Structure 1
Amino acid sequence: MTASTNAPKVTVVVPAYNSGPHIEKLVTSLLSQSLPAGEFEVMFVDDGSTDSTGARLDELAAAHPHFRVLHIDNSGWPSRPRNLGVQHARGEYVFFADDDDWFGEEALERLYACATAHDADLVVGKMAGHRRSVPRELFRRNRFDATLENTPLIDSLTAHKLFRRSFLVAHDLRFPEGKRRLEDHVLVTRAFFLSRRTCVLADYVCYHHQRRVDAGNVTATALEPAGYFVNLREALDIVDAHTEPGPLRDRLHRRWLRNEMVSRLRGRRLLDAPADWVDQLVGEAQRVIRDRFAPGVAAGLPPLQRIISRLIEEGRTPDLRRLAQWEAAVRAAPTVQRVVQDGSTLTVTLTAELFFGDQPLVLTADGEQRLLVMPVDDVPADLRDATSRIKQSKLDVIARRRDTREEFFVPVTGTVELVPAGDGTLRLVQHGTARLDVGALNGGRSRGTWDLKARVTCCGWTEDAALPVAFRCTADGARPVAVAHQDSLRFRLRRAVARRVPESIRRAIRR
């Protein structure tokens, strides 16, 4: 079955296995695309589903000529369905989607326009995370000639991107098959090195990436440390094959040290994981750090993460746990001094710092050095040295659309101040002024209710906290009107009522 006599602009490849009702949001978003149905196709690859998924996909293909279905025996992993999807795709470009995620309405049109305007082999569209993280720094602005040298592309290694199909074929870019981990990392890392031009489209949320609430404890139950780190080494091999020892290789390796090792062995993630699993993970990570990473890899981390990396390398699991217990209480504590509205512009003046429970993050002076104070002994001063990182601390303000969780950075000017705490230590306080032009928010698509939050980045932490500021625009570009913010008693009562009272009763009350 074909979508039209002409080759489509884009093929969306979707592996599906026992998707059930979770696929419907994706389907709805595909049927709502601004790109005409005759200009793209959807290639569902049913990976041997044992429920009604296969029948549902056949039903969709029968109703929509640009939907196609390939049924295969169960492979147990998304790699083979994705590879077969590319093999059967007819589009000029291919986008890999998961069956429980969804697209923004203009996503395919915007991604394709960006790709053709810049003759790109690869386009990374902005993502919104739902119960999962996405690479926020990458999407601060559009980038039309992004490379691994000039852009944090390495932070985005999931497959959810637009690839030129001929580029995938010419370089035999395929996902490693079989039940394994980090198959995305292998293909995407190679693609970043091989791409003649890569673009980052950051001014529109193209893809909504979610972790389902019924997915279980993915970290502790689905990740088997020994096999996982075998696959991780494959990704490092690709970096090594395309770089020489030095700053670039160190920076790229740092992504795996930070995301796959340090972040899994800190704070609540460590405390919630089974002790034997933590021991295995520490052992595997310890070997990779010693075998594969040059000294510059950990040295480029901020102080907290340098310390965690050293504790892993030395196998100091009790100290990792002690540090995690302290870190689990970290929170951003912003204070809004003033909010001024001038037409469609909001100006918010605020300060913020990090707290651990009711105690602020503090530094101690040692000559010219400013050292992180933390509850772990026998940590060398050079690891705790935050001096060079103080000026790199950031206070961001984020506008977040309440219904879709789309996020956009608000321009902020600010300063960092070290304030004496009275006991010989110094508090690190950040001051900022955010100016939000609602008419320019989300490229002018400002209709809806928006909450503001602060994001504090300091010494290895990045923490968000809601601000007592929220507004609604009744139409795109309309003057913002203040509404109850997410931490207000009024908002919490409304949310509690919405969870407990049927919609029919709520409508009757409003009448």
Structure 2
Amino acid sequence: MKLKYTIAIPVYNDENTIRECLDSIINQTIDNDKLEIICVNDGSTDQSPAILEEYSNTYSFVRVVHQENSGSPSGPRNKAIELATGDFIFFVDGDDYLGEEALERMEEKILQYDSDIVIGKYVGINRGVPQAIFRNPDNFSFYGSNAMYTVSVQKLFRVSLLREHNIRFPEHYSLGEDQPFIIQAYAYSNSISIVKDYPCYYLTNNLTVGREQLTKKPITGRIYMHQFEETLAAVASLNLPKEKKLRTYYQYLTRVLNIELRTTITRSFQMEDKQFIFDSLKALIKQHNFLEIYPNFNTREKLLLRIIEQGDLEDLINFWYAERHPGNMQVFHGLIYPKAEKAYELAKAETLSFHRSNKLAAAVTRIQKKAEGLLIEGYSYHTLVDASEEQLFLKLSDRDSERVTSLAVQKGAYDTDSPIPVNPEVMQEQIISLFHVVIPSSALERLDAENGIVDLHLISRIENYTAIARIIGEIPQHSTAKLTSSKQKNHLLNVTTYDTKHGNLSFKLKDTAKKKPKQPSKKQRVVNKIKRMLRA
């Protein structure tokens, strides 16, 4: 099978980068007779048109179309779809470029899987790039995948797929115009293939003056909402069974809740624009009846939907920032809810508990032998919940027999004049609790593990909510402590601390008999007696 590829390049003031872009395509390892390059000059005011004509005059497979400026890449891309003679079309931006073997590697996936869409590994130049999608198998279905986490169109699409379903870019706005196009292509595709092991597409941040000025145009709430409205309308218009349409709706709404909503809240919009976006989202999710797919969402997503449905913008912002700062959730009857008032009310009404999201972590940073036993000191923290009223316990377990025992743990340092060392990075990000506990030899001996290994866990109880964490070791130097046995006279329990391969703290125990003092000889006893007499 001999396939032909159309490379579609919308060009606007790309005089500084278009040569590198075109050269990277012309120098592909596949034969040039399999290539068609369509450059649509979108009213450039620099030297880009002259450069394009130069390449068109040199290479027969380079075609140039000139048009008045449309304000976005959508029109030029649609023109390329209309003119394409290739079996597949690859949308490439004029300031990006391809890896030399990109098309050869992507063609291998087409021949192997007959995919409608192929995504090549991205490399970011002065910018981030999608990565999560490359954790999928080499070939997969859109449904149930994480494909919506990359909605840019720098991908290879089967031309017949786009034409059969009339998939085109909306031309009346220029922010997020990729989304309605990509969701239709994904939903109608037979499968998606990915090239994981070769850098196919280099996404750059080398913006030209023209592009930079376009990017800096103020974005209003009305402009920002176009992408949501158009994409949801595109989902509604899909000529697919209801189950697939609902699945597509769910996958897109998941992206909105986890990605687009973050941008809405954190971006420097005017307050009026943020309010417009929130009110529009409220109307949209009701219009498209999110309740049909509501059970599919996770706890956090469900709460976000309920806040948008029943709350106001302030409620959304309060919850959004609260969940990003530790200590802003509370325990109620063993479950964890946000402290933010509206979020708490809505979460409690549906028992939307965050107990699975909250994580307890603990580390021991100092160990000392004391007369009463082995003193361990460290710190702990919860990632979400307010732990100011927690009770702490140390769980000791014999690895072989699985026998366990526990001890109450005290908050704070053993000696207030000797502060407990704490990882500074953790201290900056978390609300920590300092703790100490003295482990007597009797507690270790209750495990009957005198020659075994003991693992350490920290248990935190807040009301009737319990969390447990394996204690990690952050001790500068490990050592062996000799504790007097409480079970056997003239025996010692040697406790050697060490870190497991996962960085967790454990003890190696070994029971040994005390060495009996050496008895003096008869001659030495006589000498000792004489010395005592002389001293007297």
Normalising by structure 1, report the TM-score. 0.60
Task: Tell me the equivalent position of 2:458.
Answer: none
The one of 49, 73, 76 aligned to 2:71: 76
The one of 370, 388, 405 aligned to 2:336: 370
Q: 1:386 to 1:156 in 2, by over 3 A?
A: same
On the 8 A contact 1:362/1:372 being kept in 2, the answer is: yes
Task: Tell me the equivalent position of 1:423.
Answer: 388
1:149-160 maps to which residues of 2 (within 5 A)? 149-160=143-154
Q: Deviations over 1:46-73 (max 9, x none)?
A: 1232322111111222334443212233
1:316, distance to aligned residue in structure 2 (A): 1.7
Give the SS at the match of 1:244. Answer: helix
Task: Tell me the equivalent position of 1:124.
Answer: 119
The one of 274, 288, 292 aligned to 1:292: 288
On the 8 A contact 1:13/1:82 being kept in 2, the answer is: yes
Q: 1:370 to 1:217 in 2, by over 3 A?
A: farther
CA distance in 1, matches of 2:327, 2:23: 46
On the 8 A contact 1:80/1:177 being kept in 2, the answer is: yes
Q: Are 1:12 and 2:7 an aligned pair?
A: yes
1:159, distance to aligned residue in structure 2 (A): 1.9
Task: Tell me the equivalent position of 1:174.
Answer: 168
Task: Tell me the equivalent position of 2:355.
Answer: 387
Give the SS at the match of 1:139. Answer: helix
CA distance in 1, matches of 2:172, 2:383: 53
1:56-75 maps to which residues of 2 (within 5 A)? 56-75=51-70
Q: Are 1:165 and 2:159 an aligned pair?
A: yes
1:398-413 maps to which residues of 2 (within 5 A)? none
Q: Are 1:187 and 2:181 an aligned pair?
A: yes
Give the SS at the match of 1:202. Answer: strand
1:282, distance to aligned residue in structure 2 (A): 1.0
Q: 1:371 to 1:421 in 2, by over 3 A?
A: closer
Give the SS at the match of 1:288. Answer: helix
Task: Tell me the equivalent position of 1:235.
Answer: 234
1:235, distance to aligned residue in structure 2 (A): 2.5
On the 8 A contact 2:74/2:174 being kept in 1, the answer is: no
CA distance in 2, matches of 1:426, 1:148: 47
CA distance in 2, matches of 1:7, 1:80: 29
Q: 1:195 to 1:73 in 2, by over 3 A?
A: same
CA distance in 1, matches of 2:79, 2:239: 29
Task: Tell me the equivalent position of 2:86.
Answer: 91
Give the SS at the match of 1:43. Answer: strand
Q: Deviations over 1:140-182 (max 9, x none)?
A: 14332x2232422233332221122233334433334444655
CA distance in 2, matches of 1:280, 1:12: 38
On the 8 A contact 1:307/1:379 being kept in 2, the answer is: no
CA distance in 1, matches of 2:384, 2:274: 38
Q: Deviations over 1:372-399 (max 9, x none)?
A: 55687654334751234469x9xxxxxx
Q: 1:366 to 1:68 in 2, by over 3 A?
A: same
CA distance in 1, matches of 2:14, 2:243: 44
CA distance in 2, matches of 1:377, 1:196: 41
On the 8 A contact 1:7/1:91 being kept in 2, the answer is: no
On the 8 A contact 2:173/2:226 being kept in 1, the answer is: no
Task: Tell me the equivalent position of 1:413.
Answer: none
Task: Tell me the equivalent position of 1:147.
Answer: 141
Give the SS at the match of 1:209. Answer: strand
CA distance in 1, matches of 2:321, 2:110: 46
Task: Tell me the equivalent position of 2:406.
Answer: none
Q: Are 1:274 and 2:239 an aligned pair?
A: no
Give the SS at the match of 1:76. Answer: coil
CA distance in 2, matches of 1:245, 1:162: 23
CA distance in 2, matches of 1:99, 1:321: 38
Task: Tell me the equivalent position of 1:311.
Answer: 307
CA distance in 2, matches of 1:233, 1:87: 25
CA distance in 1, matches of 2:245, 2:84: 40
The one of 179, 204, 208 aligned to 2:202: 208
CA distance in 2, matches of 1:387, 1:21: 53
CA distance in 1, matches of 2:217, 2:127: 11
CA distance in 1, matches of 2:300, 2:391: 17
On the 8 A contact 1:45/1:69 being kept in 2, the answer is: yes
- What's the C-alpha RMSD, in Å, of the aligned pairs? 3.9
Q: 1:369 to 1:377 in 2, by over 3 A?
A: closer
On the 8 A contact 2:330/2:338 being kept in 1, the answer is: yes
Return 167-176 or 417-426, whichever deviates more. Answer: 417-426
Amino acid at match of 1:193: A
Amino acid at match of 1:263: R
Task: Tell me the equivalent position of 1:49.
Answer: 44
CA distance in 2, matches of 1:33, 1:93: 16
Give the SS at the match of 1:20. Answer: coil
CA distance in 1, matches of 2:171, 2:344: 45
CA distance in 2, matches of 1:224, 1:246: 26
CA distance in 1, matches of 2:288, 2:314: 24
1:14, distance to aligned residue in structure 2 (A): 0.6
Q: 1:296 to 1:386 in 2, by over 3 A?
A: farther
Amino acid at match of 2:151: L
Q: Deviations over 1:403-445 (max 9, x none)?
A: xxxxxxxxxxxxx998998523699xxxxxxxxxxxxxxxxxx
Q: Are 1:109 and 2:104 an aligned pair?
A: yes
Q: Deviations over 1:222-252 (max 9, x none)?
A: 9624544432332231458543399725522
1:326, distance to aligned residue in structure 2 (A): 5.1
CA distance in 1, matches of 2:356, 2:156: 38
CA distance in 2, matches of 1:70, 1:15: 10
Task: Tell me the equivalent position of 2:515.
Answer: none
On the 8 A contact 1:239/1:249 being kept in 2, the answer is: no
On the 8 A contact 1:107/1:207 being kept in 2, the answer is: yes
On the 8 A contact 1:18/1:50 being kept in 2, the answer is: yes
CA distance in 1, matches of 2:383, 2:72: 51
CA distance in 1, matches of 2:20, 2:338: 46
Q: 1:222 to 1:134 in 2, by over 3 A?
A: farther
1:277, distance to aligned residue in structure 2 (A): 1.0
Task: Tell me the equivalent position of 2:432.
Answer: none
On the 8 A contact 2:29/2:104 being kept in 1, the answer is: yes
Q: 1:369 to 1:128 in 2, by over 3 A?
A: farther
1:82, distance to aligned residue in structure 2 (A): 1.6
Q: 1:136 to 1:243 in 2, by over 3 A?
A: farther
Q: 1:237 to 1:247 in 2, by over 3 A?
A: closer
On the 8 A contact 1:126/1:204 being kept in 2, the answer is: yes
Task: Tell me the equivalent position of 2:254.
Answer: 255
Give the SS at the match of 2:234. Answer: helix
Q: How many pairs align?
A: 366
Q: Deviations over 1:425-473 (max 9, x none)?
A: 699xxxxxxxxxxxxxxxxxxxxxxxxxxxx9xxxxxxxxxxxxxxxxx
On the 8 A contact 1:61/1:67 being kept in 2, the answer is: yes
CA distance in 2, matches of 1:175, 1:194: 16
Normalising by structure 2, report the TM-score. 0.58
Amino acid at match of 1:235: A
CA distance in 2, matches of 1:211, 1:383: 45
